[in-house]
Amino acid sequence: MTTTTLSQPVTTATEQASRLRTLGVIGSEWIKALSLRSIRWSIITSIVLGVAMSLAIGVAIRELMAEEPIPDHAAFLVTVTSFPANLLALVFGVLGVFVFSSEYASGMILSTLTATPRRGTVLVAKAVVLTAIATMVAALVVTAGVGIGVALIPESAAAIWTTQVLTGLVGTVVFLVAVALFSFAVAGIVRSTAGGITIVVAVVFLLPTLLQIVGSIADWPWVDLVMNYLPSTLGRVLGAGITDTIDPAAPTPSYWNALFALVMWVVLPMNVAATMFKARDAA
Supply the pTM of this predicted model. Answer: 0.88
User: Dmax of the chain from CA atoms?
Assistant: 84
Torsion sign across C-alpha atoms 114, 117, 123, 125: negative
Each as own residue / partner, the long-range contacts of residues 20-24 (CB below 8 Å, 24 or more positions apart, any chain) are 21/116, 21/121, 22/121, 22/124, 22/125
The CB density around residue 109, as the number of other CB atoms within 10 Å, is: 19
Any idea what DSSP says for residue 248? Answer: T
Q: Could you list the pLDDT tens digit for every one of the 283 residues in the chain?
A: 444 444 444 445 444 445 547 788 888 888 888 888 889 999 999 999 999 999 999 999 988 887 776 678 899 999 999 999 999 999 999 999 999 888 777 767 777 777 777 877 888 999 999 999 999 999 999 999 999 999 999 999 999 999 999 999 999 999 999 999 999 999 999 988 899 999 999 999 899 889 888 888 877 788 888 899 999 999 999 999 998 765 555 667 899 999 999 999 999 999 999 998 888 766 5
CA dist 133 and 34 (Å) reads 9
Query: For residue 11, what pLDDT is reported?
Result: 44
Alpha helices (runs of H) in 36-162, residue ranges in sequence order? 37-65, 73-82, 85-106, 109-115, 119-152
Query: For residue 28, what pLDDT is reported?
Result: 85
CA dist 61 and 80 (Å) reads 9
CA dist 161 and 230 (Å) reads 29
Query: For residue 247, what pLDDT is reported?
Result: 57
SS3 72: coil
| 29, 109 Cβ separation under 8 angstroms | no
CA dist 85 and 92 (Å) reads 10
SS3 192: coil
| 75, 241 Cβ separation under 8 angstroms | no
